């Protein structure tokens, strides 16, 4: 999926639209939660290649829809979604909905920073053998 998304912005947009629709449905939640599939991480990687407003809007809305699920929040923590949102917030956006959703995500992640930096999250990464750079690996955590 990610290779096709890197090749063409329209494909990336179409893929993110599909995931956005799926993010509203409970039956798709196990796929987003799956640490073997790393769907959330792959979706976030699309932002490394494209910062078009329509793509950023879709990915932000996916994150917003998934943020209340504990396992999805763990995935968001592992990709350091707080810093990603901060970087995106600092960019000028024409679309007011992007500004609004990024502000809501920032507020949520900022209020739940302990959720992102707890020893339990680090321990869960170790037990799953899925270590990646995240807030649990910062000096603030230790």
Contact 80, 137 (CB under 8 A): no
- Whether pTM > 0.75 for this model: the answer is yes
CA angle 35, 81, 110 (to 5 degrees): 125
- Alpha helix segments (H runs only) across 24-134: 29-33, 39-45, 53-66, 70-78, 81-89, 96-111, 113-116, 119-128
Q: Can you give the pLDDT of all 142 residues of the chain as single tens digits?
A: 567 777 889 999 999 999 999 999 999 999 999 988 889 999 999 998 998 999 999 999 999 999 999 889 888 987 888 889 999 999 999 999 999 999 999 999 888 765 555 666 667 677 767 666 555 555 555 5
Residue-level pLDDT at 121: 66
């Amino acid at each position: 999926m990610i290779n096709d998304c890197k090749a063409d912005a329209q494909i990336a947009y179409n893929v993110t639209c599909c995931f956005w629709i799926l993010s509203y449905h409970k039956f798709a939640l196990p796929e987003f939660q799956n640490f073997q599939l790393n769907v959330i991480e792959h979706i976030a990687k699309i932002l490394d290649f494209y910062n078009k407003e329509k793509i950023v809007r879709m990915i932000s809305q996916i994150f917003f829809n998934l943020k209340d699920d504990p396992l999805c929040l763990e995935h968001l923590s592992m990709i350091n979604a707080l810093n990603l949102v901060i970087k995106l917030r600092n960019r000028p956006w024409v679309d007011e909905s992007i500004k609004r959703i990024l502000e809501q995500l920032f507020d949520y992640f900022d209020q739940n920073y302990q959720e992102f930096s707890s020893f339990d999250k680090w321990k869960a990464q170790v037990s799953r053998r899925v270590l990646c750079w995240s807030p649990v690996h910062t000096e603030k955590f230790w």
